[in-house]
Amino acid sequence: MVDSAKDDKGGMRDFWWFARGLLRPRHEAIIALIGAFVSAGGMGAGLLSLGPLLQLILRDGTSLQQIARNFNAKGEWIQAPEWIVNALPTDPYGGVICILAGLCALTVFGATANFIHQLVSMGLCARTTAKIRLEVFRHVIHLPLSIVTRQGPAEFTSRINNDVSSLNSGFEALTSKTISQVTKGAAAFGAAIYFDWRLVFVSCTVGPLLAIVLRKTGKSIRKGTRGALEAQESLLRTTQESMQGLRTMKGSTAELESIRRFAFFNHKVLRQNLRVRKSRALSGPLIEMLAIFVVAGLALIAAKNILNGELSFENFLMSLGALAVGASSLKPLTGFINEFQATAAPASRLRSLLKMPREDSVELSKPQLKRHAHSIKIEGVDFTYAGATQHALAGVSFSVKHGEKIAIVGSNGCGKTTLLAMLPRLLKPTAGRILIDDMDIDQIQLKSLRRQIGLVTQESVLIQGTIYENIRLGYRKATRADVEMAAKRAHAWDFICNIPGGLDGQVSEQGASLSGGQRQRLAIARAILRDPAILLMDEATSQVDAESEEQINNAIAEFGVGRTVIIIAHRLSTVLAADRIVVMDFGRVVDTGTHTELLARCDVYRRIATTQMLGAETVSQ
C-alpha cells in the first residue's frame, strides 16, 4: 500500500513536471489566463449587479437614470459620465430592457474572452505535446540498442504515441477546461459571499468530502490507466508481429492462432478500460449526492435566519443563485480532475523513459576518431545478453589490417552478428575491448566512429518514400549527383532506371515493392554514399538469387578497395573472395586462415563448408 501511494504521488509529480512546459511560451500562457479571468469577471459582475438593480427597479419603481444619479451622489471614486446618465431610460420598463441588453453584451464579451482562452490553451497543449513527443522520440532513438531490443520496440512505440496522447488529454483538461471552470466558480462564489457569507461558509463543508471522493476514485483511475497502457503495448506488439509476418502467418495457416493472441490482449485492454470507466462513472453521482445534502443544509440554515429576521429572503435567493452558478461551474471539475488523474500513469512511464541513459550521454569529453588507416583489434571480448545464462561471445580475439577483407563464418547462433554489432558500438562488450588504430572505441566520440562505418544487414531497412530518399537516409548533405554515383557503384542504377520515376520512384513500406536483391543494392548504395573507411556486411547475400549475389559481390569488390571490409558470409563465393577467414563456434574464434588452409586443418570450417555454404560442390577445388 505504501509503495502504491508513492507511485500515485510520483505519477502526479511527473504530470506536473511535464505540465511546466505549458508555461514556457509565457505570452500565450498569460493571454490564456487573462481570457479566463475576463470571462469569469464578466459573469461575476453580472451576478452582482443584476439582482440589486432589478430589485430597485421592479420593487421600488426607481428608474435606471435615477439609480445612476444616486450612485454619483455618493461620491465614489468611480463616477458614471454625465452623458451616459442622461442617455439612460427614465421609465422602469426601459431600465429593465437596458439592464438585460447590457447583460447580453456582457455575455458576448465574456464568451469572446472564453473563446480566446480556449483557443490559446488548446494550441498551447498541442504544441507542448508535440515537443514532448519529439523529445521522447529523440531520446528513444539515442538509447542503447540493448535496451530497445530487451524491452521490445512495441513498448517504446506505445509510449511515444499512446502515452503522449494521454498526456495531451490531461493538459487540455487542466488548461482549457479546469482553469475556465475554476475562475467562473470563484467569481460566482465571490458574488455569493457579497450577498451572505454564512451560506458560503456552510457550503464549503463539502470540500473535504469532495477531496476524499476524488482521491479514492483518482487512485483507481491511475491504476487502471497504467494497466490499460501496458496491455495496449502487448496488443500493439501482437498486431505488428502479425502484420509484418503476414506472409508467414498465411503460409503456416496460423491465422487462428494470431487471432487468439490478439483477442487475449484485446480483452486485457477492455478489462482495464472498464475499470477506469467504473471509477469515473462513480465519482459523478457521489458528488451530486453530496451537493444535494449541502443544499438541504443551506435551506435549513437560511429558513431559520429568515424566520429570525437575520436574513432577507431576497439576499438568500441571490446568494443561493450565485452558489448554484458556482456549483454548476465546479461540477464538471470531477470529470476534468479524473482526466488528468488518468495521465499520472503515462506521465510516470514517459518520465522513467526519459531518465534512461542515452548512449551519447558522456560523448563531448571524448576525443574524435580520425579516419581509420591502420588496424582493428578485438581483444578478449566477452558478451552476455540480459537474462541469458550463456555467453554469446567468450574471449574473442583477432586483428584486421586496414584494407583487408575478412569473412566471418560459423553456424547459426555462434555470435557472428553479435560480434559485428560491437564495432559500431550497437552493443558493448561485458569484458575485453575493441581498438581501431589503437584507440579503444568505448573512449571515442560515437558519431566520429559511426561516420566511418558502412553497415549492410541481412534485412535491409527501407522507409516509405522515394529511392533517392532511401539512399540518402542518414546523409542529408549528399547531392543528387552523389546519390546517382553511389547507386551506380552499388550496381543498382540499371534497375532504378527501369522503375517509373527513377530516383524519384516510390518505395512501399519496408521495401515490399522491390525484390530482395534490389533492396540489398539500395542498402549498399546507402553505405557507399557515406564513403566509409570500414564496411560491415551481415549476410548481405544470404537471401538473394545468384544474379543479385554476383552483382552485390562485384559492388563490394570494387568499393572495398582501400577499405577494411568485414563480412558475415553463408555463401562460398563470398568466402573465397576474402583475404582471410575467421571461423567461430559457440561464441569463440576457433581458427583463422585462408580457405585452403582451413579446409586442411579446421574440422569446424570443413563441416560448415560442406553442409551450410551454397555451392559446396566447389569445396574441394
CB 559 within 8 A of CB 399: no
CB 44 within 8 A of CB 75: no
Q: Which element (helix H / strand E) includes 401? A: strand 393-401
The three-state secondary structure class of 456 is strand
**Residues across the chain:** 621
Q: How many CA atoms lie within 13 A of 170 on its CB side?
A: 30
- The Cα 10–Cα 163 span in angstroms is 16
Q: Give the pLDDT confidence score for residue 13 in this predicted structure.
A: 83
Domain positions in the chain: 14-354, 460-531
- The Cα 31–Cα 27 span in angstroms is 6
CB 613 within 8 A of CB 575: yes
Indicate the CATH number for domain 14-354: 1.20.1560.10
| pLDDT < 50 stretches in the chain | 1-6, 614-621
Q: Judging by DSSP bridges, how do beta strands 393-401 and 375-383 pair with one another?
A: antiparallel
**Per-residue burial over 580-592, b = 16 or more CB atoms within 10 Å of its CB, e = otherwise:** bbbbbbbbbbbbb
pTM over 0.75: no
Taking alpha carbons only, the member of 77, 76, 78, 80 closest to residue 66 is 80
- Domain 460-531: CATH superfamily is P-loop containing nucleotide triphosphate hydrolases (3.40.50.300)
Q: Give the pLDDT confidence score for residue 3 in this predicted structure.
A: 44
Name residue 297's amino acid.
G
To the nearest 10 degrees (0 to 180), the angle between helices 180-195 and 26-60 is 30
- The Cα 20–Cα 10 span in angstroms is 15
Retrieve residue 329's grid coordinates.
Answer: 461551474
Task: Compute CA 45 distance to the chain's CA centroid, rounded to the nearest angstrom.
Answer: 44
CB 402 within 8 A of CB 375: yes
- The Cα 22–Cα 29 span in angstroms is 7
